[in-house]
Structure 1
């Protein structure tokens, strides 16, 4: 009986204490509505405290009822205190921390953060996911790095990505005129903005870039076939409005007539509305004897928080460019190669083989509208509309190898075309538990439509260029002497008079559904399973003769991550699929009889990858190393038993290793570097076609290295002064590589760059020396294209 009394007394004490105590909870986000992790939340005057989780959520337990002050602090943000009267339970809802610009500047100057690192992405897996728990490899190139390097063009920005190099410069052509890069053995163009299709026929201005995500491997499961490459994809994350006034204005001047004026202005309005405008005006000339570019870019964006649940984001971009582009120099793809070394190309390194009178006009417009609605604590709806229009009008030309070891014939046309794209997505993004296992899931529907219209003059042969003599002739005069080519607009218009390329149109319509789930089996072990169903109608390319009807593709993706040390070291593996729709082809019997249209299944690529990711020593070292193997099958090849027939059976293998490192080893020193080694080979092909056993020309150099280090003085009288150094290495590259034609190799190169800067809260002054050793080097893809020689760029920025 006495024991029973003691037990009842103890129970009453516990019940009484619990009745007088309660819980405080909430969610903390930044002024861009993104959850903040590891925010300090402390009950003032007590030892009770916690940190927010990945979703920005926190809970304080066992707090006595009454008046309390909750203190919230996070590096780089203004601290906040909230006084409440607690009665058992108090949910503070969503709390917004404002960025403290002065604090952020001190953090950078003191070297306490890894400036080149982006911890997570909402695009790579279409859901918020930390890099260390993502089974897919990607490189993030932040705007802070681009500012340090005084980057004024997209190609220089991508030189910071592991295993990426440019094949073609922008041609401005309708439909495929953007720059081409090589990644994991396959050609890729920058085709995405904020995770949505955003096709262009020119280059991309970096002023509106918050960061660039270079996503590795075939990613058809979440992104379809129209905007990806088997090697990966390039996504531009744009700058977003925030809830305080600020911005900066910059002027950059450099070699080759380079002038660039930029502005980034953010203006908060009432009722939680903010607008941000990024703009750039750039003029520059070529290092060659002709060529220039005049471009204007403006990107207004808007953010409207209608309520705690509903947010609208609108991003628009307008781009206008007039340029004269150097002629692309093509080695012959159909005749035995007559060049055996680089001497003639080096002799003509500074010749553009064009004139500033032959210009190309490229105008583009891109708009994205997003509605984010918080359905519940666990579910968010994302509704997106994306539209883009690109226009091409002007002269496009190239030089084609005459296969005599000297001459190239110029082919020229006046292009006129427009490319329209529309994409509509509805995504439902969840974060919930089934039992004790956490699920992060995205389920979505995607509708994509494109319409490409071409017109303008036809193609004509217009003169012959001799590399030996450096002459540009178009026949002979009445005396039999060489007649110089008239490279003027009236001269070319006169030659093109009466020619017409015809009006052509190519349409695509793709309807897709997809689902992807990241399941935490334990705190350290997570698996990802994804699936896409894709329905395609239309022409896969503007060059197709026939339309593809009702082609269906299924694309799976699987991944697993095990965190050896939670949030610090993880091992991962993935299986990823990509696919490309294949156009019908007219075939016939061996004797040419029975002509008919033959349809094919989608071409498939499958990747297997294993690797390790780290985020060590308070995030000062972030690294990844991986081995991948990509197998492409079902490529359309010539039937070895019937030259008039085509079959599916071609195969390509691309495998390699990639190492990426982002580090902040000591105060003020930030490093980004990468190494890649790729081995690609055509493993199955029709005998005699010339590709079997050889490295594909789109694969680029086998070995690539990128490196950049910047040190900023963090204290003393020289505080704010910085010095940067780095560069890129590429091994030899077989720009033409065919057994029945020959192999032509572009030499390896090492290009070094350096920078000096001074930075404080109001001003930034920078000086950049590109290609400081004045290295002659080339890019190509069955082409030979000289790259820019040494240049100096100086910039000044005013911040407010």
Structure 2
């Protein structure tokens, strides 16, 4: 492997020398009446390079790699204008004057085309159409690839620490029952990272960040545009992947760090032929646990292809292949039936250097994603977008968990299952996206149809008891009958022997969802914008595809409305929205009041309704971008167990989640960049069942996470002098205390609040970058949880080196 990497490194170093001398670009933009066009945004398509014209309408790009580029100028109310240019080594390319269709009085509606920050930028995914954040009544936050690089992020979970209002509840287990990836709390509701480029992107394990262009966390129930099968009432996590661009370029990155971290990534883009480009992102990752056992190793490859057939027709293909093997991260499951043995961390006295498991009991979680997209420009006002997606994620190996025995002996039972499961997903979407005027009113409209299917095949074993172990690592083999059995060891032969008598699942389920939706954004005036959206869903479930007895279907409507008013055009937006989400409920058992005549009943879908209002800004020429919002989400029609009849289920539970979120991105002086976020969440079960651990009336649900969250990150880079390129970064996260268990039966277990600080120093030039990151600077011992106790990393150091070509 090392020899192959060395050969690859030398090859790229030799090839890149022919591109070593960069060129530059200059040009002028004018309005249709001949005036210089000031503050127009110019983008080199397919790159992160963007600039703004000055008062004379002039723009300049320095240090541009030789190659062919498309220069893009885009304004609201007109078609994007593009110009093909050729940049030669060491030469200045002068672009012919670009004349806009608008006159000087129409330049208020500028589309920001670069990727500097989301609050000033445009997303094609949040509303399924190109829409600026200041025109969008929905709140969303973005984590960019540049931020991932600054923080030396090697895992998806760490990337989300930059988003206000999100908290990791549960580690990735890798198990194959459809919930093997990490769980997060988002606006008070559990959520998983399930979307890639707005399409299904499930995994049973971890997500590799090597192919991430940015992460969009879209807040609030969003079923109207994204359906219900894969998203949360609190929102959704959408990963945007890197796409091919014109020209040759890329970079290689190596990271080494604490606990045996070794990670090599490569990002290579190259032209194939006229109009066709290819990009490959790849990563090789190995890492041990900070505990006495535990590891992760993975190989990731993500080829993508783009083809511009002509001015109207284009194609894009994205693929991802991941081979991953790892052990379960330690989680101690608290008991749920009788009073807790431990009520706090002091009583637990856990030695968090112990994993209480074995490297021999590992899990493989291979993953494959294929996405294809065809865009066809039907006219100057309408575009057809056809997308298909196919995904396969597997679980193959051993899943172990530790469950509190609640027997007064202070120990946990270790259970193990041998997982063998596969989830297959397919999705087909057809969207028609329009930008046109009806009278004096501009309309941006998306009309869509969506078919999604998910098939889960599970042949995993049941769970077998291996032994008991205390939080200090003392093992005994006393089973529930009080008998001492022969020792069982945490090796594959020993565990296989125990599992030999365990039965296997024989599950083959399929869910289908057919949907149609429409969303219209109307400019009532230049400063007043309204959004109206509606979705119709038909959901069909086959609990066992070999039988019709457990089949059921449901229909649901999901509306969405929003209003934007800009008191200062393109600088301040006041917004409000109503959003709806829903989830289909599988049939449950019902019975008479005396428990007789049991039968199965299909319940109505659950529904979530959100009302939200807030403020968005883009001030001082994109130097201060902020979003502040207040939301109130009520979920009703929740199905609960009947507290007076164990054979019956009731529909009528209700839950409320409301809170405040604040997100700021600022560039107050040259070289200084700041991001910060704050969230407060107040969640309560309004109507529930006191015997239900997850839905107890009058209590804060465990899935809601901490009430208070705060994140910050500041970077300062010297821009002149002998130390030009030297940068310093500092930031961290604060999480308030969290009750991971709180009910009359068990009592309360509270995880204390904590503050984690991180720092970095780096030095960079256009060709290379070196950095050292220190995470958890103060070596804080801390835990997360979701009725579980999950130990987190102590202080660790990551050194990285990047070479660009």
Q: Whole-Å Cα distance in 1 between the matches of residues 216 and 238 of structure 2?
A: 5
Q: How does 1:461-480 map to 2 (within 5 A)?
A: 461-467=465-471, 470-475=473-478
Relative distance call for 1:115 and 1:716 in structure 2 (3 A) is farther
Relative distance call for 1:114 and 1:52 in structure 2 (3 A) is closer
Q: How does 1:596-675 map to 2 (within 5 A)?
A: 596-639=599-642, 642-675=645-678
Q: Per-residue deviation at 1:768?
A: 0.2
Q: Whole-Å Cα distance in 2 between the matches of residues 115 and 326 of structure 1?
A: 34
Task: Give the TM-score taking structure 1 as reference length.
Answer: 0.87
Task: Give the TM-score taking structure 2 as reference length.
Answer: 0.86
Q: Does 2:421 align with 1:417?
A: yes
Post-superposition Cα deviations, 1:54-107, rounded to whole Å, max 9, x if no partner, equal: 367589xxxxxxxxx99999xxx986533899xxxxxxxxxxxxx9xxxx9xxx
Q: Per-residue deviation at 1:337?
A: 1.9
Post-superposition Cα deviations, 1:502-524, rounded to whole Å, max 9, x if no partner, equal: 21111100000000000000000
Q: Per-residue deviation at 1:188?
A: 0.3
Q: Is the 8 A contact 1:604 1:634 kept in 2?
A: yes
Q: Is the 8 A contact 1:769 1:792 kept in 2?
A: yes
Post-superposition Cα deviations, 1:150-176, rounded to whole Å, max 9, x if no partner, equal: 111111111000111101111001111
Aligned to 1:127: 129
Q: Is the 8 A contact 1:400 1:408 kept in 2?
A: yes
Q: Does 2:57 align with 1:54?
A: no
* SS of residue in 1 equivalent to 2:566: strand
* SS of residue in 1 equivalent to 2:263: strand
Q: Per-residue deviation at 1:472?
A: 2.0
Q: How does 1:412-561 map to 2 (within 5 A)?
A: 412-467=416-471, 470-475=473-478, 485-538=488-541, 547=550, 549-561=552-564
Q: Whole-Å Cα distance in 2 between the matches of residues 564 and 786 of structure 1?
A: 48
Q: Per-residue deviation at 1:124?
A: 0.5
Aligned to 1:398: 401
Q: Per-residue deviation at 1:576?
A: 0.3
> Which of 368, 371, 383 in structure 1 is aligned with 2:386?
383
Aligned to 2:169: 167
> Which of 742, 748, 753 in structure 2 is aligned with 1:743?
748
Q: Whole-Å Cα distance in 1 between the matches of residues 86 and 769 of structure 2?
A: 32
> Which of 681, 702, 706 in structure 2 is aligned with 1:701?
706
Q: Whole-Å Cα distance in 1 between the matches of residues 624 and 601 of structure 2?
A: 54
Q: Whole-Å Cα distance in 2 between the matches of residues 453 and 556 of structure 1?
A: 34
Q: Whole-Å Cα distance in 2 between the matches of residues 794 and 126 of structure 1?
A: 39
Q: Whole-Å Cα distance in 1 between the matches of residues 246 and 627 of structure 2?
A: 35
Q: Whole-Å Cα distance in 2 between the matches of residues 146 and 460 of structure 1?
A: 40
RMSD, aligned CA: 3.1
Aligned to 1:731: 736
Greater radius of gyration (CA):
1
Post-superposition Cα deviations, 1:555-597, rounded to whole Å, max 9, x if no partner, equal: 0000000001111001000000000000101222133322211
> Which of 95, 100, 103 in structure 2 is aligned with 1:81?
95
The answer for unaligned runs of 5 or more in structure 1 is 1-20, 45-49, 60-68, 86-98, 105-112
> Which of 353, 358, 365 in structure 2 is aligned with 1:355?
358
The answer for unaligned runs of 5 or more in structure 2 is 1-32, 59-71, 100-112
> Which of 791, 794, 797 in structure 1 is aligned with 2:799?
794
* SS of residue in 2 equivalent to 1:788: coil
Relative distance call for 1:54 and 1:643 in structure 2 (3 A) is same
Q: Does 2:45 align with 1:31?
A: yes
Q: Is the 8 A contact 1:339 1:744 kept in 2?
A: yes
Q: Is the 8 A contact 1:29 1:56 kept in 2?
A: no
Q: Does 2:252 align with 1:253?
A: no
Q: Per-residue deviation at 1:637?
A: 1.9
Q: Per-residue deviation at 1:347?
A: 3.3
Q: Whole-Å Cα distance in 1 between the matches of residues 668 and 93 of structure 2?
A: 28
* SS of residue in 2 equivalent to 1:692: coil
Q: How does 1:135-150 map to 2 (within 5 A)?
A: 135-150=137-152
* SS of residue in 2 equivalent to 1:492: helix
Report how many residues are paired: 734
Relative distance call for 1:598 and 1:285 in structure 2 (3 A) is same
Q: Whole-Å Cα distance in 2 between the matches of residues 738 and 652 of structure 1?
A: 16
Relative distance call for 1:36 and 1:668 in structure 2 (3 A) is closer
Q: Whole-Å Cα distance in 1 between the matches of residues 628 and 269 of structure 2?
A: 38
